[in-house]
Amino acid sequence: MLKKITIAFLALLVLIQFIPVEKNESNDMEFDISKSYQIGDNVATILKGACNDCHTNLTRYPWYSNIQPVKYFLADHVNDGKRHLNFSEFTKLPLAVQNHKFEEVIEMVEEKEMPLESYTYFGLHPEANLSEEERLALINWAKDQMAYLAATYPADSLVRKRRTPPSQ
């Protein structure tokens, strides 16, 4: 019985290798954050090492990303990250949302919720283990972008409008 279960499990592992998963490799830069915001070399390096794999349209995939079920897990993880914040499509967003995303960057980095711990498990992505200096650089950069928005646009354009429930 154990032998049959083992064979079935191995057969399943082999079969799932053929399930296609779309990779995040479009690298569409039309609405990239760098089109409208200043990104210094130090911040660009931090973003590249700690953020861009999950928060842009171009992910650098490690060798193990070609093996199921890891392939599926990574695709889901990247899609979730892009759903929350996508630097490659940042300037498509309304100004109020862009401003709010900078607030979220500040909050997540300050509270050490980003980058996710799972991104650096087992010594993976050591460049994403941010030092306090790197965290401060990201926070200050996001604050500077918010200050730029505040100095450039009317205050009411930087506030997200509350959604009102439809009347019944």
**pLDDT recorded at residue 97:** 95
Instruction: Compute the residue count for the chain.
Output: 168
For 77, the enclosing helix (H) or strand (E) is helix 70-84
The label of the residue with tokens 């306090």 reads 132
pLDDT at residue 123 tops 80: no
- Residue in 84, 85, 91, 76 with CA at minimum distance from that of residue 24: 76
- Residue 168 has a pLDDT of 61
Does 165 score more than 80 pLDDT?
no
The 8-class DSSP code of residue 152 comes to H
For residue 97, how far is the Cα from the chain centroid?
16
- Tell me what pLDDT residue 127 has: 85
Spatial CA neighbour of 103 closest among 147, 156, 56: 147
pLDDT in tens, 80-117: 999 999 999 999 999 999 999 999 999 999 999 988 88
pTM: 0.82
